[in-house]
Structure 1
Amino acid sequence: MILRRIVLSLAAGLASPLLLGACGSSNGSGSAAPAAPAASDSAVSAPATSAADGGDGSGTGSSALTTGVTAEAMDGIGTVVADDRGMTLYRYDKDESDPSKWTCSGTCTKTWLPVIVGDSVRTSGVAENLLGTVHRNGRKQLTLAGWPLYRYNGDTGARQANGQGKDAQWYAVAPSGQKAAETG
């Protein structure tokens, strides 16, 4: 009987820190809470604008929310916008007729992952007044100068721009919302 109490007490003692640690590290989205922005960063509330469903509308890419964007200098294409993980962000020329509406849907979103954001986005080197969102299946896709933003699944690490000029329609986006310089 005493041995059983000792074993149960030991098990409870070992499990308690693990359970408390798991409870304190979640922000409800299944990932750790983002760090506080650096002094040079600013948080922007991303206003939503409506968008038509450009097809079946399925696919919001990675379920991880982007919490910030930054301007990054990259060899060969100049300064581009990257997400909080350093992944290059792209714009799609087919959105040209109305860039406030997204046109990449269905199988397109398996290659070009829409940049999904929460209510605010930290910025560094990107003009706050150029950021916004469009509604995408109940979520918010980040826009820059009205252009919906995407990640390319061919970029496997930070500071890559393998999607630059892809199909003569996809371009890394500059902090102004314009296409980044084409590679030579």
Structure 2
Amino acid sequence: MNVRLAVVGLGLTGLALAACGSTSSKTSSTSSTTKSSNASTISTGATVATSSSSGYGTILTSKAGQTYYVFTGDTKGKSNCTGTCAKAWPPVTGSPTVSGGASSKLVGSITRSNGQKQVTYNGHPLYTFASDGGPHQVNGEGINAFGGYWYVISPAGKPVTSSGSGGATYSSTTSSSSSSGSKSSSGSKSSSGW
């Protein structure tokens, strides 16, 4: 009888170990897939599309709904966001295509200092925001960071500086170069080159 219990015990231990091994590798695989899909959503995808799901009217996004931003610290046709800035605000790179209400006449590209092609709209380089966790999020709207403000952009090629529902307008009166940035809710931001 003791032998029988030992065999059953070993069998159960084997099943438990097999299950742990199976769960562990499945979890690793899922984790890896999630990381790689987030990375590709944030840093690649050159389709310039439109969405009206953000609360800022119709704005430019990727085909999957990832919000695109413009940076007032850039000059027309030149990106001034590199290094740490480009990690927080990944540039939209690749050969641009157009979808939805975006204008193919306004889509172009520039060559970044590292040699990558960055998509532009109305001459302004496009970026995503690393803290936007999914489609139609606009966590970067109005942030003052890295020497300028970050705004979503309309299909007309203009930065959207207030919500479609009459929300806050962002001011340039405070200056911040932190990676998280800051928002201000008084006044409005005007920028040369827009």
TM-score by length of 1: 0.61
What is the aligned-residue RMSD (CA, Å)?
Answer: 2.4
For residue 99 of structure 2, the aligned residue among 119, 123, 139 is 123
User: 2:162 maps to which residue?
Assistant: 182
Identity %: 34
For residue 88 of structure 1, the aligned residue among 67, 81, 85 is 67
From the superposition, tell whether residues 76 and 86 of structure 1 become closer, same or farther in structure 2 (CA, over 3 Å): closer
Where does the alignment leave 5 or more consecutive residues of structure 1 unmatched? Answer: 1-30, 32-60
Name the structure, 1 or 2, with higher relative contact order (CA <8 Å, separation 6+): 1
Deviation, 1:126, is 0.6
Contact 1:134/1:143 (8 A) holds in 2? yes
User: 2:170 maps to which residue?
Assistant: none
Amino acid in the other structure paired with 1:76:
G
* Stretch moving more, 68-77 or 147-156: 68-77
From the superposition, tell whether residues 75 and 123 of structure 1 become closer, same or farther in structure 2 (CA, over 3 Å): closer
Deviations 1:1-30 (A, max 9, x none): xxxxxxxxxxxxxxxxxxxxxxxxxxxxxx
- Find runs of 4+ consecutive structure 1 residues off by over 3 angstroms: 61-65
Q: If each structure's strand is expressed as a fraction of its own residues, which one has the higher value?
A: 1
Q: Distance in 2 between matches of 1:87 and 1:78?
A: 15
Contact 1:66/1:121 (8 A) holds in 2? no
SS class of match (2:105): helix
* Count of residues paired in the alignment: 123
Q: Distance in 2 between matches of 1:70 and 1:63?
A: 15
> What does residue range 82-161 of structure 1 map to in structure 2 within 5 Å?
82-95=61-74, 98-118=75-95, 120-136=96-112, 137-161=114-138
Deviation, 1:123, is 2.2
